[in-house]
């Protein structure tokens, strides 16, 4: 186990951004270093729920709709006061380019924030720049960066995740426009053929007659 004192004698890990896609062979072009490591960073995630309006209830039940993208935010300082270079040319412009659509991908690059063992893959969704130190002619030498990344995961990778809806727990589901018993069974059970269980549990004789807004009992599968 590495103690804080022992770690102090080791090389300091340098925080950086790496371009994951499009593929870039030249490592110097692929890596975008930060001049100083951030003092902290924040990772946040939110879920979206819909309130089910049932007359007579003071607090409406909540229906899980979907998960939100994880987000990483941090503040970083870049500085060229030792070399008197334009900090925009040395650091800022490369970070700003991460918000410009790439001609090959037709979208901004996918990047990875790396700092020691911490890795976050996403796209740069926000970049606020505050210039703080200048030469007499106005050339900026220092900039504070407020950087925000949104998580990126391909649809193929998410399809490999285990089902998030447990078929062994009874619950309810509010029908939305475009839903069918087959699509609901596929989403909740990962088994389209389980629509018969839904129909039987809710007394549905005609599976085509499932109107939006109806609350279905979702039985557990045995």
- pLDDT tens digits along 97-115: 999 998 887 889 999 999 9
Is the pLDDT at 8 greater than 90, yes or no?
Answer: no
Q: Per-residue confidence at 170, pLDDT binned at 50, 70, 90?
A: low
Q: Which fold has domain 165-218?
A: Membrane-bound Lytic Murein Transglycosylase D; Chain A (3.10.350)
Which residues of the chain does CATH 3.10.350.10 include?
165-218
Contact 112, 103 (CB under 8 A): no
The helix/strand/coil state of 90 is: helix
Is the pLDDT at 5 greater than 70, yes or no?
Answer: no
Is the pLDDT at 15 greater than 70, yes or no?
Answer: yes
Q: Quick one: which of 98, 95, 96, 84 has its CA closest to 140? A: 84
Alpha helices by DSSP H, 24-166: 27-30, 87, 93-96, 155-159
What number does CATH give the domain 12-155? 2.40.30
Which residues of the chain does CATH 2.40.30 include?
12-155
Stretch 52-76: mean pLDDT, rounded? Answer: 81
């Amino acid at each position: 186990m590495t103690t804080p004192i022992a770690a102090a004698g080791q090389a300091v890990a340098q925080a950086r951004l790496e371009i994951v896609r499009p593929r870039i062979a030249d490592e110097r072009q692929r890596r975008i270093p930060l001049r100083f490591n951030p003092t902290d960073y924040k990772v946040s995630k939110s879920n979206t729920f819909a309130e089910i309006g049932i007359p007579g209830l003071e607090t409406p039940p909540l229906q899980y709709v979907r998960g939100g993208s994880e987000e990483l935010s941090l503040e970083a300082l870049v500085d060229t006061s030792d070399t008197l270079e334009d900090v925009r040319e040395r650091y800022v412009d490369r970070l700003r380019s991460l918000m410009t659509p790439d001609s090959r991908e037709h979208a901004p690059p996918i990047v990875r924030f790396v700092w020691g063992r911490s890795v976050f893959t996403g796209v740069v969704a926000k970049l606020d720049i505050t210039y703080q130190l200048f030469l007499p002619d106005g050339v900026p030498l220092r900039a504070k960066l407020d950087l925000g990344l949104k998580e990126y995961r391909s649809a193929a990778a998410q399809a490999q995740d285990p089902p998030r809806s447990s078929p062994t727990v009874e619950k309810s589901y509010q029908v939305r426009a475009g839903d069918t018993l087959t699509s609901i069974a596929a989403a909740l059970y990962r088994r389209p053929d389980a629509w018969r269980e839904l129909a039987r549990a809710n007394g549905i004789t005609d599976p085509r007659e499932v109107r939006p807004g109806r609350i279905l009992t979702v039985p557990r599968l045995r």
